[in-house]
Amino acid sequence: MSGITLVGDFVTLRPLTVGDAQLTHAWRQGERATNLNAGAHSVEQQAHWIAARPASEYNFIIELSDGRPVGMVSLSDIDTTHRHAEPGRFLIGDEAAVRGVPAAVEAMKLIYELAFGELELHRVHGTVASDNALMIKWQKFMGMTEEGRLRNHYFINGKFQDAVLFGMLAGEYWAKALPKMTFFIEAAKKGR
């Protein structure tokens, strides 16, 4: 797993380590994770999963500027031939800690900067379970385009759900998503 750290104004993305297994496992058991794919069933399984992440993936813990870990996010399935990747595993685990802080916005901005800036990718993509209304609105608002659906692709919360496919091209990121994200971060800086 790649070991870089990405630093923003409000959050830092530092590499996920096996030592984060207990914390991230607890987050995955929380209410907000119910719309995600089932994760590890125990801390030990979570530790094994973290240890097994390939060097080609970027897996991060989202930390506030005071060092408090509040969530996780990743960039995986990086294909340098076709120049695309999948941002995902995005979860804010400590809801109370991020109220009033643009943690989610800046975490995604840092991931996109990595994808479209440093790695010079052309496209990012991902899927969201169709019942995850907040995340679907979020992805569209932040510049993703709904590109299709995989019907009944997930079995989450006791029922089948569609996987909503999202994608964003580099040009769309620079023209639309980045200004919108910058807007939120600059606005929050004014209110500090």
Partner 1 sequence: MSNKSEVQNVIFQALTALNQERDADEQIEIGPDTALFGPDAVLNSLELVSVMVDIETTAADEFGQSVSLTDDEAMGRDPVPFVSVSALTEYILELLSK
Binding region for partner 1 (CB under 8 A): 31, 92, 95, 98-105, 133-135, 137-138, 140-142, 180, 183-184, 186-188, 190-192
Question: What is the spatial distance between Cα 119 and Cα 148, in angstroms, rounded to a whole number?
Answer: 26
Shortest approach of partner 1 to residue 2 CB, angstroms? 25
Shortest approach of partner 1 to residue 20 CB, angstroms? 21
Question: What is the spatial distance between Cα 21 and Cα 48, in angstroms, rounded to a whole number?
Answer: 9
DSSP assignment string, the chain: -----EE-SSEEEEE--GGGHHHHHHHHTSGGGTTSPP--SSHHHHHHHHHT--TT-EEEEEEETTS-EEEEEEEEEEETTTTEEEEEEEEE--HHHHTTS-HHHHHHHHHHIIIIIIS--SEEEEEEETT-HHHHHHHHHTT-EEEEEEEEEEEETTEEEEEEEEEEEHHHIIIIIHHHHHHHHHHHHHT-
Nearer to partner 1, 50 or 73 (CB): 73
Shortest approach of partner 1 to residue 61 CB, angstroms? 17
Nearer to partner 1, 78 or 87 (CB): 87
Shortest approach of partner 1 to residue 154 CB, angstroms? 19
Shortest approach of partner 1 to residue 75 CB, angstroms? 19
